Amino acid sequence: MSENDVEKKVADRYLKREILGEGTYGVVYKAIDTKTGHTVAIKKIRLGRQKEGVNFTALREIKLLKELKDPNIIELIHAFPHKGNLHLVFEFMETDLEAVIRDPNIFLSPGDIKSYFQMTLKGLAVCHNKWVLHRDMKPNNLLIGSNGQLKLADFGLARIFGSPGRKFTHQVFARWYRAPELLFGAKQYGASVDVWAAGCIFAELLNRRPFLQGDSDIDQLGKIFQKLGTPTPLLWHDLEWLPDFVEYSSQITQPWRKLCPTASDDALDLLSKMFTYDPRTRISVQQALEHRYFTSIPLPTDPAKLPRPAPKRESHNPRTSDLNNGPVVLSPKRKARRVMSDREGFDGNSFQVDKVDERGGEIRWAAGDNSGRNEPVLMSVDFSVFGSKPVSRPTINSADRSHLKRKLDFEFQHPE
C-alpha cells in the first residue's frame, strides 16, 4: 500500500460533518469516528503558507496534550497527516462555560457554580502538577461535554515552566483575565497567573458578567484597582521593580460582599485569596481545591445534572426538510448569505465563526449553532474549494440557476 493510501485509510475513519469554527491556523470540523461511533471535533491545521511546517501553536498544543490526560482536560484522541495538512482529533464538546454564563435562560445555583468551578480548578491542578502553565484561562476555553464534564481546552499558549529563572512573554491571556504582574510586564512568573484568571472566572460565574473589563492594559489595571484597591509595597514587595510599573492614584479596597453580593462567605474568602496581589502569597490551585468552600454546604452539583444551554437541533429537525428543497448555493458563504438572506432557514443557522480575539489565534470547536443537516462525508473528501462546509446535495435546478445568476450579475455590477 502506498503512503497516500495509508493516509486515506486513516482519514476515512472519520465522517466529516459541518464546520464548527475557523481560526488563523485552521478549520474545525465536527465528525463521526466510524471506529468508535463517537462524535469528534477535528482541527485541520493548515501548513505550508509561511513555509514553516507544522504551526508552532499547534505543535505546543499537541506536545502538551499528549502529556496531560485527565477527565478535566480536553482529550487529543488522534493526530494524522492528510493531504499535507495535520489533523488533530479531539473529543467533541457540546458547549462552553461562556455560553452557560451568558445564557439568560440558565439559573446557576450555588452548588452548580461550585461544581463548574471545582472542575475548572481540577483541570488546572493537573496542568500545574505537570509544570504546565495554561496561560489562556477564560470561560470560552472551558468546554463542557454532554455529561456535564468541564474540560480545559486550547493549549496554544501553554508552556512548561520547569526551569527556574526562565523568561516568558507577558503577552498572554485575554486581557480581562490577565494578572496584575503580567500587566506590569513581569517576564518571570509562575502558576499564580493561572490562579488569577481562575479567580476572574469564579467571579464571572457568581456575577454572571465579566469581573474586570478593561479596554486597554492601562485601563485593565485601573479596573482592578478600582475594585480591589491599589496595591502598596507592603502588600506586594516586588511591585515597584516590575518592568512596566507605573504608579496609580490610591484607591481603597471595596468590600467583597459588595463586589459579589450573591456569594457565600466561604466563596468570598476563596475569591479574596485568589485575588491576592503578591503572586508569591496568592493561593495555589491545590490549596484552592482544599478550601472549605468546596466541602461546605451546598456540595458541588453532580456534573450530569448541571444546567447547560438547550441542546442543539439535530438533522431530523423538520425545518431542514423544506430548506433542502430550496436552492443551495455553491459559492463562498459570504455570498450565500447575501443571496439567501430572506430565507429564514439560513439566518439562525449561519456558521458560528468566533470573533477572533486580540491575538487572533482562536478557534472554537464546541458546538456552535449548527444544525447538522449535512449528510456525513468522508474525511478525505476535500471541500476546501468551497471555503465552506460540505454541502451534501447541491440541487440547483435550472429555474433556481437563472434566479441566482440574476442576483450574481447584480452583484457584479455593484462591487462593494
Please state the closest distance from residue 11 (CB atom) to other proteins, in A.
Answer: 13
Residue 160 β-bridge partners: 132
Q: Is 364 in the site for other proteins (CB under 8 A)?
A: no
20 is in an annotated binding site: yes
* Under 8 Å between Cβ of 224 and 199: no
Q: Which of these ranges, 58-66, 101-109, 269-277, 338-346, lies near other proteins under the rule CB under 8 A?
A: 58-66
44 is annotated as contributing to ligand binding: yes
3-state secondary structure (DSSP) of residue 332:
coil
Which among 158-166, 179-187, 268-276, 301-309 is the span making contact with other proteins, rule CB under 8 A? 158-166
Q: Can residue 56 be called a binding residue for other proteins (CB under 8 A)?
A: yes
- Cα–Cα distance between 414 and 341 in angstroms, integer? 18
Q: Does 187 bind other proteins (CB under 8 A)?
A: no
Residues 234-263 that bind other proteins (CB under 8 A): none
Give 77 or 330: the residue with its C-beta nearer to other proteins: 77
Q: What are 300's three cell numbers?
A: 458541588
Question: Cα(142)–Cα(306) distance, rounded to whole angstroms?
Answer: 15
Closest CA to 198 of 173, 230, 169, 235: 173
Catalytic member of 33, 112, 136, 194 = 136
Residues 224, 101, 99, 287, Cα dihedral to 10°: 70
Binding mask 160-179 for other proteins (x = CB under 8 A): x-xx----------------
Tell me the window of 148-156, 157-165, 248-256, 393-401 that interacts with other proteins (CB under 8 A). Answer: 157-165
Q: Which amino acid is at 234?
A: L
Longest dimension (CA), the chain: 78
Question: Closest distance between other proteins and the C-beta of residue 54, in Å?
Answer: 6
Contacts of 217 (CB under 8 A, 6+ apart): 175, 178, 183
Active site residue 136: yes
For the CB of residue 262, give the shortest distance to other proteins in the complex, in Å. Answer: 39
CB of 163 to other proteins, least distance (A): 7
Nearest approach in angstroms of CB 322 to other proteins is 45
- H-helix or E-strand containing 77? strand 76-82
Nearer to other proteins, 7 or 217 (CB): 7
Give the CA angle between residues 335, 336, 341 to the nearest 5°. Answer: 100
Q: Residue 94's closest CA among 21, 139, 141, 146?
A: 146
- Sequence-ordered alpha helix ranges (H) in 93-216: 97-102, 110-129, 180-183, 192-207
Euclidean distance between CA atoms 192 and 198, whole angstroms: 10
Q: Out of 8, 12, 46, 59, point to the residue binding other proteins (CB under 8 A).
A: 59
Question: Which member of 8, 46, 54, 229 binds other proteins (CB under 8 A)?
Answer: 54
Q: Per the annotation, does 356 bind a ligand?
A: no
Cis peptide before 180 (omega within 30 of 0): no
In whole angstroms, how close is the CB of 81 to other proteins at the nearest point? 5
Of positions 9, 38, 109, 130, contacts other proteins by CB under 8 A: 130
Q: Does 63 bind other proteins (CB under 8 A)?
A: yes
- Single out the segment in contact with other proteins by CB under 8 A; choices: 74-82, 135-143, 181-189, 221-229: 74-82
Residue the block writes with cell 467571579: 203
Residue 86 binding other proteins, by CB under 8 A? yes
Judge whether 353 is annotated as a binding position: no
Measured CA distances, 411 to 40, 172, 258, 394 (Å) = 38, 42, 55, 21
Residues 6+ apart with CB under 8 A from 405: none
For other proteins, the closer CB: 135 or 223: 135
Annotation: binding site: 20-28, 43-44
Annotation: binding site for ATP: 20-28, 43-44
As annotated, the active-site residues are 136
Residues in contact with other proteins by the rule CB under 8 A = 47-48, 51-54, 56, 59, 62-64, 66-67, 76, 79-81, 84, 86, 129-131, 159-160, 162-163
